[in-house]
Structure 1
Amino acid sequence: MLQRTERKDAAKHRELILKTATQLFDTQGVDSVSMHQIAKTAGIGQGTLYRRYACKADLCIELLMDSFQQFIDDNNQYLSDAALIPVRERLDTFLTKWIDYIAGNIQWLNAIRPSSICSEDHIKIYRSPAFTYVTDTIKGLLDEAVSQKNTLPLNTAFAAFNIASSLCPEAFLFLHNDKSLSPEQIKEHFSNFYVNLLFRQP
């Protein structure tokens, strides 16, 4: 009975923490909110918060999990429904959907990125489920295009990795903030560069 009560309390704490963090992040921005503020606003001890989330990045990762799973489900449904649509169009649509996802979740993605590009944590990004899913999806579409001779001959694994890594949140932030490109412009440029280039006939 005691164990069941503890599990119920843990679930309530998790729900309360995520709800509180989301509200604070939405109103103040992720960078401006501290773990102390989250615990205080939620009315729980900092020890309770840190036992579940060692840092703010861990909390942001959990907040991202639901939205990323929804992205996967929606995209897999699209690819299934659009199986007869030319692969060039499907690749273009997938890249557009991925950029839209980054744009819509940039504050969370920005909060969990490693502080140093040379750190081991940065390399781990390339092994993450999100990066793996994006890379595998692009590779699958390119494999289909190559088999149908709809694109230039290429190493699809290498091409998929480079496309996915160039669509990372850091690149999006740089293009959006430093180069003043809107999400629509970024999508257009990526489409013109990758899709038009890859599917240009020799």
Structure 2
Amino acid sequence: MADTPTGGGASGAPGAGRARDDTGSQNDTGPAEQPVSLRDAVALATRAHTGQLDKAGDDYIGHPLRVMEAVGDAAQRAGVDPDQARMVAVLHDVVEDTDVSLAKLTSLGYPSDVVAAIDALSHRDGESVEQYLARVAGNPLSVVVKRADMADNSDPARLARLPLEQANRYARRYSDRVRLLDDLVVDRMRTG
């Protein structure tokens, strides 16, 4: 349902590449001097997804915000940093669906683990679902976020807003992908 946003994409992050002063506001002094925060990530995702709609016609930003809210406990159980998981979650579609690049995230000061997880979550042209999910399975932060992403995309309450045939197609798609990701994670644990 939130699979691919529709509508006009954002042109990146206004104010990107600017340092914050002590009050947290942006200034033009150069690269980021303070670590980026979850609040920064939410602001970037909100700007980047402005004008995009999900399959039900809602503002697309709702999807990454819901995924962000869902990953905290799962991150702790998986042994990954919950704050980094939330940051990855809110930004998980910006590289794939907006003009924001991995290089831009790095230049803004996002931690390398966060950028690597977003990279793993970003589809490549011509890539099969199996190749994509195998890459996701190799990054623990990405696994936590992808599971929350697929749970949100297959939420029955959200699917009920779509035509029945489309809702059933999405439900099957995400059920199959959850099984495949789980199998790939188990395989990686056995061989890893």
- What TM-score do you get using the length of structure 1 for normalisation? 0.27
**Which is higher, the Rg of structure 1 or of structure 2?**
1
- Larger fraction in helix: 1
Relative contact order (alpha carbons < 8 A, sep ≥ 6): 1 or 2 greater? 2
Q: TM-score, normalised by structure 2?
A: 0.28
Name whichever structure is richer in strand by fraction.
2
